[in-house]
Amino acid sequence: MSPFAGRRIVLAVSGGIAAYKAVEICRRLVDAGAHVTPVLTHAAQRFVGEVTFSALASERARVSLFDDEDPIPHVTLGRQADLILVCPATARVIGSYAAGLSDDLLGATLIATRAPVVVCPAMHTEMWEHPATQDNLRLLSERGVTVVEPEEGRLAGGDEGAGRLAAPESILTAAAEALAAGARASTRDMVGLRVLVTAGGTREPIDPVRFVGNRSSGKQGYAVAVEAAARGAKVTLVATVQRQVPESVELVLVETAEEMRTAVLDRLPAEVVVMAAAVADYRPVAPADEKIKKSGEDRTITLEPTPDILAELGRSGAAGTLVGFAAETSDVLANAEAKLHAKGADIIVVNDVSAPKVGFDHDTNEVTLLDAAGDRTAVPLTSKRDVAQAILDRAVTLRNLR
C-alpha cells in the first residue's frame, strides 16, 4: 500500500520560481491516495495561481489567515495534518519558521502543528549559502524538521549552482519517511520501561594525548535512545560522543571501557539494555602519565583485554532484555550466532561493515537481528532510526513473550 494512502498532507508553497514544481508534487501525492490541502503564500501566487492547485488537490487551496470561512484555519490545518511539506521553501519562509513567526497562513500553520514537517529549500546559490539560511536550517533540523537539501543545477535567470529544488523522488521519499516516523512517535509502547543504551567507541589512553580507538560515530546508539524515548521509555544513554538528545534522556559521558562498565552497572536494573557502543577489546596495560616523546626507535605498546560489559550483563541477568551488536566482515551470521550464545544476549544486531553505506559513521545501516529463540530478521539498508525501531520492536516482542 502507498505510504500516502489516507494521510492528510498540507502542501505549503512559498514564492519562488520552483513553485511550479510543487504542482507536480501535489498531483503525485493525490494520485498516491493522500488528502492534500495546498496553502500558498502571497508570493507563491505570483508564480502559480491558486486555481491550479485547487483543481489538482483534494480541496481548495488556502491563501489567507483572515479571509477564510474557518475563523482559525491555521489551527484546524495544523491539528488535522499528518505531515506538512514546505515545497519550495524560500529563505524568508525558512527564516520566519526558525524564528517562530506566524505572520501569514503558512507561517501560522507551521507553528500550530505537532505533525512532522519536511522543508524543501530552493533559492539562488548566494541565498542558499548565506550563513543566515544555513543557521536557520541547522536550527530547524535540531528541532526535528527534515530538510531535503537542494541540488546543483540550472537556476532562474540562467544561472548555475547549488539551490535548485530537490528531485520529486527525493522529496516524496523524505515525505514518506517523515510520515512513518510521525506514526511511530505516536506509538507509546515503552511507557514504564527503563532502557539503558550505550553509544560510540571507547578511547583507551596511551598517554595524556593519545588513545587506542575505533571508527564508531555513536549514531546508531543515539538513534536507539531517541526512538526509545519517543516510545515513552525512561532512557539513560552512556556515550563516548556528545550529540543532540531529547531533554528526557539522561546522558552520561564516559571515555574508556572501564568507565563505561562502571556507568552501566551503576544504572541497573533496566528492563532493556542495548549495548550499541563499540567497546575496545584491548587497552594499553600502563598508560604513560606524561606525553611520550619520539625517540626514533620502534616502540611496543602492550595491550590487555578490557572487561566485556555485554558478557558480564549476560551472566548477571540484571538486564531484562539484553541486546548486543556485532560488526563483522566475514562469516557474518555464524560469528553473530556464536556471539549471541557466548555473551548470553537475547538479541544480537549484526552488520557486515565491509558493505557500502553500512555501519561506522554512515547515516544508514543494514542489519540482521538474531535472537536466542532462533529467529532471524533482516532489515534492508535504511536509516539508523528505522534500524532502532526494528531493534526495539524485537525487544518489546521478546519481553511480551516472557
Residue numbers annotated as active site:
214
281 scored as a contact of ligand CTP (CB under 6 A): yes
Task: For residue 26, state whether it binds ligand CTP (rule: CB under 6 A).
Answer: no
| Cβ nearer to ligand CTP, comparing 109 with 216 | 216
Among 200, 324, 344, 359, binds ligand CTP (CB under 6 A): 324
In contact, 261 and 183? CB cutoff 8 Å: no
The number of beta carbons lying within 10 Å of the beta carbon of residue 133 is: 22
Which amino acid does the sequence have at 102?
S
Cβ distance to ligand CTP smaller for residue 106 or 225: 225
**Spatial CB neighbours of 79, under 8 Å, sequence gap ≥ 6:** 112, 113
Tell me: does residue 339 bind ligand CTP (CB under 6 A).
Answer: yes
Instruction: Among 57, 327, 369, 396, indicate the residue that binds ligand CTP (CB under 6 A).
Output: 327
277 touches ligand CTP by CB under 6 A: yes
Total number of residues binding ligand CTP (CB under 6 A)? 14
In angstroms, what is the minimal distance from the CB of 134 to ligand CTP?
35
Closest of 143, 150, 95, 151 to residue 117, by C-alpha? 143
Q: Which amino acid is at 75?
A: V
Kindly state whether residue 257 participates in binding ligand CTP, applying the rule CB under 6 A.
yes
Residues in 57-96 that interact with ligand CTP by CB under 6 A? none
Rounded to a whole number of angstroms, the minimum distance from the CB of residue 262 to ligand CTP is 13
- Nearer residue to ligand CTP within complex by CB, 11 or 347: 347
User: Counting contacts by CB under 6 A, is residue 174 touching ligand CTP?
Assistant: no
Query: Could you tell me the smallest distance in angstroms from the CB atom of residue 314 to ligand CTP?
Result: 9
Can you tell me which of 310, 322, 387, 396 binds ligand CTP, judged by CB under 6 A?
Answer: 310
Alpha-carbon Rg for the chain in angstroms = 25
Classify residue 205 by burial, with Cβ atoms within 10 Å: 0-12, 13-18, 19+: middle
CB of 194 to ligand CTP, least distance (A): 18
Query: What is the secondary structure of 244-300 as a DSSP string?
Result: ---TTSEEEE--SHHHHHHHHHHT--EEEEEE-SB--SEEESS--SSPPPP-SS---
Nearer to ligand CTP, 190 or 197 (CB): 197
Which distant-in-sequence residues (6+ apart) come within 8 Å of 297 by Cβ? none
Cα(340)–Cα(48) distance, rounded to whole angstroms?
Answer: 59
Residue 283 interacting with ligand CTP (CB under 6 A): no
Q: How far apart are CA 279 and CA 8, in angstroms?
A: 44
Q: By the criterion CB under 6 A, which residues form the site for ligand CTP?
A: 257, 275, 277, 279, 281, 306, 308-310, 324-327, 339
